[in-house]
Amino acid sequence: MMGDSLYRVLSKNTRAKAYEYYSDVISYPQRYPDVYAYVKELNRSTDTFEVDMFLKLNFADNQYSNSVRVTVRYALSPPTEIIYRVIDGYGKGRIKNSITIKEPTNLAIQQGCKCEIEVNHLPMDILSPEPHGLEETDPMHAEYIGKGLYLQAQDQIYLEGNSSLQEFVTKCPRCAKNALEYTGLTEKIGNTVKREFKCGKCGYMFYGMSYGSEI
C-alpha cells in the first residue's frame, strides 16, 4: 500500500536537512512520544536499515490492545525519498509507504521555503487500511485525525522551530478547503491534554488529545 501523503510540510530547511530529520528514525520516540513508544535498530547497510518498533495506538483490533509491535525495513535514497515497509508483525507484506522530499514550487520559494515534504507515518498506515484515511462515521476516525494533527504539530516544533501549536495549521478533514486552526483553548484532565481546533470555512470542530503532555 502506497497512498497519498498524510500531510505536506513547506519547510524553510534545505532538502538535506529535512532528509536527515526524517531518516533519523531512532529519534522518533523523542519527537513523537505520544505515538512512537520505542524504536531499536536491528541492522544497517549502506542504503537500508531495519528496526524493532513499538507504537502507541488506541486500536480497534482487540488482539493488539493499545500497542503494536512491528519490524520495519527502511530504504534510503538521499536526499529525496525514504521508503518503509513492514516485514514482521501487523501489516507484514501489506504496508509500504514513503516520505518524499521535493524541490519547492515557485510560490513556495517566494514564501521562503527551501523544500516540500510529503510525509507518511507507519502508525497512520496501520490505523487506516485505505490511503485516503477513514470516513468520519468510522469509530477510529477521531483517533486517526488526532494522531495526524499531533505528528504534524511535532514537525512544526522540531523541524521548523515553531515554539507553539498556535503556529500549526492543517487541512480540514471535512471540507478539505481550509486550514484547521488551533483556537488556543486547552484543557488538562488528569494526564490528558485536550486542544481545540476549528475550520474557518465550514466550522468543523476537532478536539485533539495527547497524553502525559504539558499545557
Residues sharing a CB contact under 8 Å with residue 49, sequence separation 6 or more, in sequence order: 25, 41, 42, 43, 73, 74, 76
How far is the C-alpha of 30 from the C-alpha of 27, rounded, in Å?
5
Q: Residue 38: is its pLDDT beyond 90?
A: yes
- Is it true that 7-163 and 164-215 share their CATH fold? no
Fold of 164-215: N-terminal domain of TfIIb (2.20.25)
CB 29 within 8 A of CB 45: no
* DSSP β-ladder status, 192-199 and 115-119: unpaired
Q: What is the pLDDT of residues 10-31, one digit of tens each?
A: 899 999 999 999 999 999 999 9
Q: What is the pLDDT of residues 123-161, one digit of tens each?
A: 988 887 554 555 666 667 777 777 887 888 888 888 988
Q: Does domain 7-163 have CATH number 3.30.530.20?
A: yes
For residues 51-68, give the mean pLDDT: 73
pTM: 0.74
Domain ranges of the chain: 7-163, 164-215
